[in-house]
Structure 1
Amino acid sequence: MPTSTRPHRDATAPAPLSGRAAAAVLAVILLAAFMELLDATIVSVAAAAIAADLRAARPRCSGSSPGTRWPSEPA
C-alpha cells in the first residue's frame, strides 16, 4: 500500500486563504481594531463634557492624587 508524504487534510476543513483574500481579512481586522481605539478615545474625551452636562458629582477615585481636578472644574 503506497503511503503519501502529504499531510492529511480533513475534508470539512476550509482551504487556506490565498494572498488577496488574506490581505482583505487582515485589512478588515485592522480597520475594526482602529475603530475600537477611536471609539474609546472619543468616549474618554467626551466623558467630562457629558458629566458636566448631567451635573454629575465628581467621582471619588482612590487612584487620584491630591490636587487633581475633574476636567470640568474651574481652576
Structure 2
Amino acid sequence: MEKAGIPAACITAMNSVAEAVGANRIIVGGRIPYPCSDASLPPEREFEFRKKLVKTALDSLTQKVDGPTVFTLQQR
C-alpha cells in the first residue's frame, strides 16, 4: 500500500518483526494474543486503551516517515 502512495499503520506487540518486514508506521500494541487490547485492565480502562491505540494509529497516518518508525501511546 505504501508503494502505491497509501499510508498504512501496523498495530503489533512484536515491533522487531514489523521492523524486519519493513512496516513504515509501527504502533506498539498490547500483548501478543491481544495486540489491540489489554485484557489485564478493567473494562472501562481497556476501552480507553483501545481508543488511544486507534487514535495513535490514525495520527501516525498523517506523519511523513522515511522508513520504519515506532509510535507509542503517551500513557498506558
Is TM more than 0.5 here?
Answer: no
User: Does 1 or 2 have the higher relative contact order (CA < 8 Å, sep 6+)?
Assistant: 2
More strand by share: 2
Q: TM-score, normalised by structure 2?
A: 0.31
More helix by share: 1
